[in-house]
Amino acid sequence: MANLRILYRSVQEIPPEKWMEKLALEAQTDAAEAALGYPLPRRMRPLFSAEHSHSVRVEERLFESYADFGKKMAARNFTPELRELDNRRRSLVKWEREELFFVDSGMPVPRWMQAVSRKPMTEEEMKQANIVGSPICVTPEQAKANVEAGKLRILYRIVQEVPKDRWAEKLEQERINDAAEVLRGDPLPTRYRAMLGSERSQIRINEREYEDYAAFAKSVESFLANSTPGDQAAMDAEIRRQGFFNWEREEVYIVDTDSFNPMWMAYAAEGRG
Phi, psi at 264, each rounded to 5°? -65, -25
Architecture of the CATH domain 116-255: 2-Layer Sandwich (3.30)
Q: What is the pLDDT along the chain (273 residues), one digit of tens a residue?
A: 567 899 999 999 999 889 889 999 999 999 999 999 999 899 999 988 777 677 899 999 999 999 999 999 999 999 999 999 999 999 999 999 999 999 998 888 888 888 888 888 777 777 666 667 666 666 667 667 777 777 788 999 999 999 999 998 999 899 889 999 988 989 989 999 999 988 888 999 999 999 888 999 999 998 888 778 888 898 988 888 888 899 999 999 989 887 766 666 666 666 665
Provide the whole-model pTM.
0.88
Pairing of strands 153-161, 247-255: antiparallel
Judge whether 6-103 and 116-255 match in fold: yes
CB-based contact 29:76 (threshold 8 Å): no
Please tell me the distance from the alpha carbon of residue 44 to that of residue 206, in angstroms, as a whole number. 16
The residue extents of the domains of the chain are 6-103, 116-255
Cβ count within 10 A of residue 67: 12
CA distance 14 to 161: 29
DSSP letter at 106 equals: T
Q: Does domain 6-103 have CATH number 3.30.70.100?
A: yes
Neighbour count for residue 42 (Cβ, 10 Å): 21
Give the C-alpha separation, 235 to 126, whole Å: 25
